[in-house]
Structure 1
Amino acid sequence: MNSVFPDGWDCEARLVDGHWVERRPRRPDVERQLRTETRLLPWLAPHLPLAVPVPHIVSDDPLTVRHVLVPGEPLEQLDAAQGRALGLFLRALHGADADEAVRRGVPPPREVLRDRTALADDFRARVLPLLPPDRRETDSGLLRAVHALPTEALVHGDLGPEHLLAQDGALTGVIDFGDAHIGDHAIDLAWALNGTSPAFADACATAYGARPALRERSRIWHRLGPWHEVTHGLDTGDQDSVRSGLAGVLDRLPGIRGL
C-alpha cells in the first residue's frame, strides 16, 4: 500500500509498500541536497545513537531516493528522557568529522557564510519593512549578529519537533537532513533549548554540555526561525504563513546581550 506524506517545502514524499519512504525534489536546487544525503547518511548513521534515514538513489530521471521508514511518530509530548536522548544525539552528530562530511557533499564554511549573508540581506529587504517601526532597529541588530556566528561542526540545520520521531514515549529517530551543513552547533539547539519545556531543555543542555555562550547563540537562531516562515509565505503567496511568521518574529522578544 502506498500513501503520500504531508507536503514538505523541498520534497514530495510517499510511503511505498508500508516499508520504504520515497522522495523526489520539488525544485532543481533540491537535487543537490538529496544526492548529498545518499553519500552522507550511510557514512554517518553508524556513529549516531538514534536512527536516521539511509537513502539510496533508485532513479536519476526523475531523481528519486528511497530509504527504509524510520520508526516512530513526530514528537509531541516532551520529557526529560527525550531531552537527554536528543542532547546525546547532537553531541555525536556535532563530533563527526567535518572534513569528511564536506567530501561527501555538505556545504563547507565558505559557502555557508555566503548563504548566511544572502539570507540576512533577504530578511532585511523583505521582512524588516513588514514589522512595526519600533521593532525594526532591534531586529536589524539580530540580522547583524548572524555574521559573527561560527561555522565549525556538521549540523542538521533544521531541527524541530516535526523532524524528531518517538515511539512509546521514547525518542527513536531524526529525519530530514536536507539542510545539513558545516555551521554553528547552536542552530541545532535553538528549538530544543528555547521552544520546549524546562525539563526537556535542561536535560538536553546537560547531556550535550551546553555552555552559556552556546545557549546564547541558540537564542539568536531561535529568534530567526519565524523569519523563514515569512519569506516562505511571500515566495508561495501563502498569506497565512506570512501572518503566522510575523507573529512569531514579534513574539520572540529580544533576549540577547548586546542587541
Structure 2
Amino acid sequence: MDGKLTIDTALVSRLVAAQFPQWRDLAVRPVASGGWDNRTFHLGDEMTVRLPSAAAYSLQVEKEHRWLPQLAPLLPLPIPVPLAMGVPAEGYPWHWSVYGWIEGETARRENIADLSQFAADLAGFLIALKRIEPTGGPAPGQHNFFRGGPLNVYDGETRQAITTLGSRIDGTSASAVWEAALAATWQGPPVWFHGDVASGNLLVEDGRLSAVIDFGTSGVGDPSCDLVIAWTFFEGESWEVFRADIGVDDATWARGRGWALWKALITAAGHIDNPVEVEKSWRVIDAVLADHRRRT
C-alpha cells in the first residue's frame, strides 16, 4: 500500500455517504477475505465496495467498469458487474468501485464436492471467455502487469530467482522449463483471458464452481497465463481433466508452465527465510518441473 494510507470502514463510509447518498445508511463491513491488491467491504447485504490498495492497481478500475458488463452476459457463470464508480476524495487518491454481491465461498478443496467436475467447469468457463469477440479489448500492459504478453518481460527476475534459490531447487530443470516457455512464442490471434485464475478468485456453492471474480488483470492476448491453476490447485485426475478439457496446444501449455514457474520462483526467492510463506511455492515448482519432465 502506498505511503500511510489507511483503507478501513470509516473511509469507505465517508466515501459512500458523500458520493452515493442513496446508500449512506447501509452498513459497511470488511469481507472475510478482503484481498491484497484491493480492499473489499460489504455495503449492506447486496453490494460490495472495492478500493485499490496501491496506484498500480488503480488502473484496473475503469477497465472493469467498461468491460465486465459486456462480458457478463456471454459467460456461463456469474462475474462481478460494477454498479457505480467512485472518484478520489476524503484523502483516498484513486477511483473505486461498487459491485453487486455474489454469493459463494472461496474455493478450497474441502468445500468442492468433485474436484474433477470443478476442473471441467472452470475449463468450460475459460473457453467461453476466450470465444468472446476481443476487438478493442485491453492489450497487455501496466494495468495487468503484462499478463497476456510475452514472458520475456519477466526473464531477468526469473533467472535471478533461480540464482538466488541456488541448491534449494533443481536450477538446471527450472532453467530448462523457462527456456522452453520463452521459445514457445504465441502465434495466435488475441483472445480474452482472466489473468489471475487462482482459488481465491473462484467461488463455490453447493460444492460446485459458482462464480469467477477479480478481473483486474484481465485483457486480450495470449491466454496461457490462465493455465497456472493446473499446477497451483489441481493434481491427479483433476489435473488431467483440466488439461484435456482446456484443449490448448503444447506450446501454450509450455508458456503456462512458465507463468506458474515465474510466480513460484519469485515468491520463494522473496521469502527465502520464511518456510511457511514458501511452502506452496515449493509444491508448485515441484509440480511444474515434474510436468516438464513427463513431456520431454
Identify whether the pair has TM-score above 0.5, normalized to the shorter chain.
Answer: yes
| TM-score normalised over the length of structure 2 | 0.71
Supply the distance in 1 between the matched residues of 2:30 and 2:57 (Cα, whole angstroms).
19
Q: Which structure 1 residue ranges, 4+ long, deviate > 6 Å from structure 2?
A: none
- Post-superposition Cα deviations, 1:182-213, rounded to whole Å, max 9, x if no partner, equal 34333222324773144433443444334555
- Residue in 1 aligned with 2:157? 122
Aligned pair in 2 of structure 1 residues 57, 121: CA closer, same or farther (>3 Å)? Answer: farther
> Does structure 2 retain, via aligned residues, the 8 Å contact 1:93–1:154?
yes
Shift of 1:11: 0.8
SS state at 1:165 partner: strand
1:85 aligns with 2:111: no
Deviates further, 184-193 or 52-61: 184-193
1:2 aligned onto 2:46: no
Matched residues in 2 for 1:192 and 1:249: separation?
Answer: 10
Counterpart residue type for residue 119 of structure 2: G
Query: Secondary structure, in 3 states, of the residue corresponding to 2:291?
Result: coil
Residue 106 (structure 2) aligns with: 74
Deviations along 1:59-90, one digit per CA (max 9) or x if unpaired, are 11042201111221112224333222212111
From 139, 144, 158, give the equivalent of 2:174: 139
Match of 2:135 among 99, 121, 128: 99
User: Who is 1:230 aligned against?
Assistant: 268
1:79 maps to amino acid: L
Change (3 A) 1:27 1:68: same
Task: Provide TM-score, normalisation by structure 1.
Answer: 0.80
Unaligned runs of 5+ in 2: 1-26
Question: Does structure 2 conserve the Cα–Cα contact (< 8 Å) formed by 1:112 and 1:182?
Answer: no
- The residue number in structure 1 matching 2:200 is 162
Q: Is the Cα–Cα contact under 8 Å of residues 150 and 185 in structure 2 kept in the other structure?
A: no
113-122 vs 182-191, which moves further: 113-122
CA distance 1:119–1:131, change in 2 (3 Å): same
Q: Percent identity?
A: 23
Say if 2:65 is the partner of 1:27. no
Shift of residue 154, structure 1, vs aligned partner: 1.5
> Which has more radius of gyration?
2
The Cα shift of 1:122 comes to 1.8
State the distance in 2 between where 1:209 and 1:39 align.
29
* SS of structure 1 residue aligned to 2:81: coil
1:11 aligns with 2:38: yes
Give the counterpart of 1:52 among 79, 87, 98.
79
Q: Distance in 1 between matches of 2:124 and 2:226?
A: 12
In the alignment, the residues of structure 1 paired with residue 120 and residue 277 of structure 2 have an alpha-carbon distance, to the nearest angstrom, of 34
Partner of 1:256: 292
Aligned-partner SS, 2:211: strand
Residue 42 in 1 paired to residue 69 in 2?
A: yes
CA distance in 1, matches of 2:235, 2:215: 24
**CA distance 1:21–1:240, change in 2 (3 Å):** farther
Q: From the superposition, tell whether residues 130 and 164 of structure 1 become closer, same or farther in structure 2 (CA, over 3 Å).
A: same
1:33 deviates by 1.3
